[in-house]
Amino acid sequence: MEEVAKMNRAFYERYQKLDDGEEFWKLMMAPLRQSIRINTLKAPIEYVKARLEERYELEPIPWVKEGFFINTREFGEMVEYALGLVFPQEASSMIPPVVLDPKPGELVLDMAAAPGAKTTQIAQYMKNEGCIIANDLKKWRANVLIANLNRFGVLNARVTVRDGIYFSRFEDTFDKILLDAPCSSVGMIRKSFKFLTDWSMKKVIRYSNIQKKLIVAAYKALKPGGVLVYSTCTIDPLENEEVVDYLLSKTDAKLEKINLPLKSTPPVLEFEGKKYSEEVKKCLRIHPQDNNTEAFFVAKIRKP
């Protein structure tokens, strides 16, 4: 805790109101367990798993059948990575596509898609049938996205470079939408301390405003009966429960409970004097100590 306070006191003072447990702070600063997802667009899980187990130790990730913790960080020398058979992906970041549950033949929007880990996971579940509009705001990020889609054998995606708000004009269009929103990345401190030293309240407020615009645009573009999954890799209520609460107050959106074999922390119903709808209890809030992963937040929203 002292280490965090030394590096960024404002950060420590804000988030110890959310979780002041020793385990939370210890794991917030601990190195992240490396994990991969096997790409079933190119080969069956068992085939790739058997190849990998000749050289590495694998441990199944309980909430995604293609996901495994692995005891290496050296992907540059892994031939399976070069061939697009495995995607290095953080274990909790595999949750949103699982919750989205896209099906072959559907029209899916991945609103903030780069670098493409979740896009390739969506394509995998769709078996390359149907269409994914994979969007990102920045051209250089879209180039990374295209490179990953190519390497992982994704054939059903079209890449667009737009501000996500643009998609609000396609009202009632998409079967499923993933909004893995740009955020203050508090959960990613375990990957790099720069997310801790660069953190500021100003950034949190800026991201919260962007997220509110994006979630309303995404909801507009969703077909009645369709599913929108909103996710972030941060723990700040302003970027999580507040954004979902904002959507609920502005639209007829309904939240659905997420049932996955993992541990989670109760969602925040009140923070700094601001109260949120009881409905946000259905969201998934994950702190690092829950499953020894990044911090993450996921909401499953349905349009009636």
The single-letter code of the amino acid at 131 is: C
Distance CA 45, CA 47 (A): 6
Task: Note if 131 is an active site residue.
Answer: no
Considering the candidates 131, 183, 233, 283, report the single residue annotated as catalytic: 233
**Could you tell me if residue 132 is left (phi over 0), alpha (psi between -120 and 50 degrees) or otherwise beta?**
beta
Distance CA 20, CA 174 (A): 41
Q: Return the SS3 of 297.
A: strand
* 143 Cα distance to chain centroid: 20
Other C-beta atoms closer than 10 Å to the C-beta of 297 total 32
Lookup result for tokens 């670098």: 115
Task: Please say whether the dihedral angle defined by the alpha carbons of residues 64, 65, 69 and 70, taken in this order, is positive or negative.
Answer: negative
Q: Annotated active-site positions, please?
A: 233
